[in-house]
């Protein structure tokens, strides 16, 4: 019997993060497999990509439901058909209600295109440029009731360059997302990261290794650079 964790992906659009997860999961050593994809949007490209790869992909449109809670109940039911151990939100553009979030507490994760807690919500790249930050990035976090707010699992930073617009910056962040999400999911699937109360707890080989949860700059790279800087400074110290 497979020991891989069963993962369902929730998305609303393009699905490039789902593709990154699928690519990672194609490796025999990867601790998770993508068993199903669910969308609220029938024309989401992610749905057709998943189907083309032989992954079961279903749509639960919100039309016809009286409330967000009713729609979420239908989403929950459709999700449980996949018997997932973990649910990954990957561009799911609907705020989830308390019931579904509570039901999946510690087993539902999301990727957000900013270094949380900065810039929760939409339009993160434009807002980052407007604020003049020099470092931007993406975060994977456990999903809690408050949108884009749960305990952080892993983050990747990218530089903001003077000539950037929201599109070029967004592309740089997306490239980082595609590295970060598979890494973060693997930590959760291996049990090296877990949610305890409202904190993320890191344990085991991967979880306690900061290089697995923080890249660009990776701590190792920073320390290496710091040592070189110190050596360089020492040459000028009388």
**CB nearest ligand GRF: which residue?**
91
Task: Check if 112 is active-site.
Answer: yes
237 CB neighbour count, 10 Å cutoff:
6
173-232: contacts with ligand GRF (CB under 6 A): 174, 177
What is the nearest approach in angstroms of ligand GRF to the Cβ of residue 28? Answer: 24
Is 139 among the residues that bind ligand GRF (CB under 6 A)? no
Q: Which range binds ligand GRF by CB under 6 A, 111-119, 128-136, 197-205, 215-223?
A: 111-119
Contact 125, 136 (CB under 8 A): yes
Is 125 among the residues that bind ligand GRF (CB under 6 A)? no
Inter-CA distances, 26 with 38, 54, 81, 88, Å? 20, 13, 22, 17
Spatial neighbors of 33 by CB under 8 A, at least 6 apart, are 2, 4, 5, 6, 7, 25
Spatial neighbors of 88 by CB under 8 A, at least 6 apart, are 7, 8, 9, 10, 17, 18, 21, 108, 109, 110, 111, 181, 185
Among 5, 9, 10, 15, binds ligand GRF (CB under 6 A): 15
Is 137 among the residues that bind ligand GRF (CB under 6 A)? no
Is 112 among the residues that bind ligand GRF (CB under 6 A)? yes
Binding mask 27-46 for ligand GRF (x = CB under 6 A): -------------------x
- φ and ψ of 86, to 5 deg: -135, 140
Is 91 among the residues that bind ligand GRF (CB under 6 A)? yes
What is the nearest approach in angstroms of ligand GRF to the Cβ of residue 170? Answer: 7
Among 50, 108, 111, 156, binds ligand GRF (CB under 6 A): 111
Contact footprint for ligand GRF (CB under 6 A) = 11, 13-17, 46, 90-91, 111-113, 138, 174, 177
Q: Which residues belong to the active site? A: 112
């Amino acid at each position: 019997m497979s020991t891989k964790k069963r993962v369902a992906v929730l998305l609303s659009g393009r699905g490039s993060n789902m593709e990154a997860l699928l690519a990672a999961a194609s490796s025999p050593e990867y601790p998770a497999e993508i068993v199903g994809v669910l969308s609220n949007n029938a024309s989401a490209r992610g749905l057709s990509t998943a189907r083309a790869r032989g992954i079961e992909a279903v749509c639960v449109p919100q039309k016809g439901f009286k409330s967000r809670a009713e729609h979420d109940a239908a989403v929950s039911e459709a999700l449980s058909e996949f018997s997932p151990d973990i649910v990954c939100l990957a561009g799911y553009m609907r705020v989830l209600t308390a019931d579904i979030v509570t039901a999946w507490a510690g087993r539902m994760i999301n990727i957000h295109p900013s270094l949380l807690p900065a810039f929760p919500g939409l339009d993160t790249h434009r807002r980052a440029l407007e604020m003049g930050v020099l470092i931007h990035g993406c975060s994977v976090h456990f999903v809690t009731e408050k949108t884009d707010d749960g305990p952080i699992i892993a983050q990747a930073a990218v530089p903001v360059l003077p000539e950037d617009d929201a599109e070029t910056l967004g592309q740089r962040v997306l490239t980082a997302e595609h590295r970060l999400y598979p890494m973060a999911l693997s930590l959760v699937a291996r049990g090296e990261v877990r949610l305890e109360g409202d904190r993320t707890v890191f344990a085991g080989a991967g979880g306690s290794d900061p290089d697995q949860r923080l890249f660009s700059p990776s701590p190792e790279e920073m320390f290496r650079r710091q040592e070189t800087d110190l050596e360089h400074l020492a040459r000028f110290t009388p």
